[in-house]
Amino acid sequence: MRLFLAGSVLLSAAAYYVYLPLPSGVCEPWKLMLLDALFRSFMHASDVAHALGVTHRVHLVNQIVSLAEVIEAYPCPAVHVFDSTLGGVSTRVFQPKGGKKLKRGVLYFHGGGWTHGSGRMRSYDHMCRRMAEDLDAVVMSVDYRLAPEAVFPEQYHDALAASRAFLSAQVLEHYSIDPERVCVSGDSAGGNLAAAVVQEMTSDDSLTVKFKAQALIYPVMQALDFNTPSYQQNQAVPILYRPAMVNFWLLYLGADSSLETLLLANNHSSLDQPAISARTRSKFDWTTLLPDIRKKQFQPVIRETGSLGVVDELPALMDVRAAPLLAELEVLGRTPKAYVMTCEFDVLRDDGLMYVRRLQEAGVTVTSDHYEDGFHGCMAFAFLPMLSSVGQRSLDNYINWLDQNL
């Protein structure tokens, strides 16, 4: 009887810890709850270790994720898989064994808030294997440096170095990649890097080969408004909570974590900030850039007065290499056709949708692929053990767009 009672208590406690009220439209919510409970366990353990001075919280999370998720570059029947470098940056290469002589080429940047993740993780490895096989494409997944050891613009410089090497005559020839069929892609923080790199490289007239397509998966695009409708609506929806995204930005920019509160309140982008002009504000003004269906009942959070000096202390907040949404229309207009995936239950939804609108205003052909039941990171749910419908659909549609546009 005592054993039964103890088991009941433990089960109840576990259910209480795992259960999280989610919006009714989320795809297969229990899978998301289970993953979130796992992540929260990792984060709580890392917070304790950090407080005790054992290790930085980021390092412990990365060690746990590496043990659980990073896999070797094992061979498979259709694709050669091996680790190499690209422009001096660690990269996993997926090269089809058969198919046409000239291959498509896809350069991919993983997500993880510029602090976590690796192209060698199971979900990215599986995704790139499938892309290589289905598209008959050489796929290169880049392991750029991570915060807190590397801070902006070092991740960007790694992404740019890898991109320049990927489009070099030597690499294109070595891997038999068709220079007219090359794409840059990435998810979340990786989507940010992909967008920033393609803006820079399409404006560089010294390059003989440029990307012909950009595919951005729930990308991070700006850090001046943390109160867009999607940030307000989804602030407590896993796996990317609103405060967590602010902390990722602070780690990326090498800033003090004490700035979290004022960024969450938009004090850093108040109207009395002399460094932020009306022209700049128009580039992240969701009241004009978002479709009405996404604005819903939400109101802008605009402070008349705020915390002066933050933008001067963190100029990267307005640097287009960190915040591609702030690029000029002339720059955007030179970028190639685009695919932008967004999810309804994601704090970054409106970053992606505002970028879609700005690309369209610049004359770029854009495919906006929105998932009403999707959440941040859902494309990683395209494989076991967390296989879900929205994960499969999103990956299928992403690969299908690449197939038709590359």
Q: What mean pLDDT comes out for the span 356-365?
A: 98
Q: Hey, which bits of 174-297 come out as E strands? A: 177-187, 213-217
Contacts of 236 (CB under 8 A, 6+ apart): 242
Beta-ladder partners of 340? 216, 368
Mean pLDDT, range 168-188, rounded to an integer: 98
Q: What is the DSSP letter of 152?
A: T
Average pLDDT, stretch 363-390? 94
What confidence score (pLDDT) does residue 161 get? 98
pLDDT higher than threshold 80 for residue 19: no
Mean pLDDT, to the nearest integer, of 56-81? 88
Which two three-digit tokens encode residue 165? 């090497």
Q: Residues 7-31, buried b or exposed e (16+ Cβ, 10 A)?
A: eeeeeeeeeeeeeeebeeebbbbeb
| pLDDT value at 4 more than 90 | no
Cα gap 104→134, rounded to integer Å: 11
The predicted pLDDT at position 18 comes to 67
Task: Kindly tell me if the per-residue pLDDT of 215 is higher than 80.
Answer: yes
Per-residue confidence (pLDDT) for residue 145, from 0 to 100: 98
Task: Please list the active-site residues.
Answer: 188, 346, 376
Options 3.40.50.150, 1.10.620.20, 1.10.3130.10, 3.40.50.1820; CATH of 65-223+320-405? 3.40.50.1820
By percentage, how much of the chain surpasses pLDDT 70? 95
* Reported confidence tier of residue 60, pLDDT bands at 50, 70, 90: confident
Give the pLDDT band (50/70/90) at residue 17.
Answer: low
Give me the mean pLDDT over the 235-248 stretch: 95
Strands annotated E in 112-169: 137-142
Q: Which pLDDT band holds residue 15 (cuts at 50, 70, 90)?
A: very low
Rounded to an integer, the average pLDDT of 293-310 is 94
Classify burial at 170, counting beta carbons within 10 Å of its beta carbon; exposed 0-12, middle 13-18, buried 19 or more.
exposed
Using CA atoms, how far residue 61 sits from 65, 105, 197, 207, in Å, is 6, 32, 28, 39
Q: What local confidence, expressed as pLDDT, does residue 21 receive?
A: 81
Range of lowest pLDDT (25-29, 252-256, 390-394): 25-29
Q: What percent of the chain has pLDDT over 90?
A: 80
Q: Which of 17-21, 87-91, 143-147, 244-248 has the lowest mean pLDDT?
A: 17-21
Residue 270: is its pLDDT beyond 70?
A: yes
Nearest to 254 by CA among 360, 150, 328, 349: 150
Return the SS3 of 185. Answer: strand
Report, as an integer, the average pLDDT of 8-32.
67
- Give residue 13's pLDDT band: very low, low, confident or very high (50, 70, 90): very low
Cβ-contact 199, 336 below 8 angstroms: no
Question: Which of 60-74, 244-258, 276-290, 334-348 has the lowest average pLDDT?
Answer: 60-74
- Helix, coil or strand: residue 306: coil
Q: Report, as an integer, the average pLDDT of 213-230.
A: 98
pLDDT digits 0-9 by tens, 83-93? 999 999 999 99
CA 204 to mean position of chain CA atoms: 24
Q: Kindly tell me if the per-residue pLDDT of 5 is higher than 60.
A: no
Q: Confidence band (pLDDT; 50, 70, 90) for 14?
A: very low
- Model-level pTM? 0.94
Confidence of residue 130 (pLDDT cuts 50, 70, 90): very high
Q: What is the mean pLDDT of the chain?
A: 92
- As a whole number of angstroms, the distance between CA 305 and CA 308 comes to 8
The span from the CA of 278 to the CA of 245, in Å, is: 25
The dihedral built from the CA positions of residue 121, 71, 108 and 61, taken in this order, carries a sign that is: positive
Q: Which two tokens stand for residue 83?
A: 């680790």
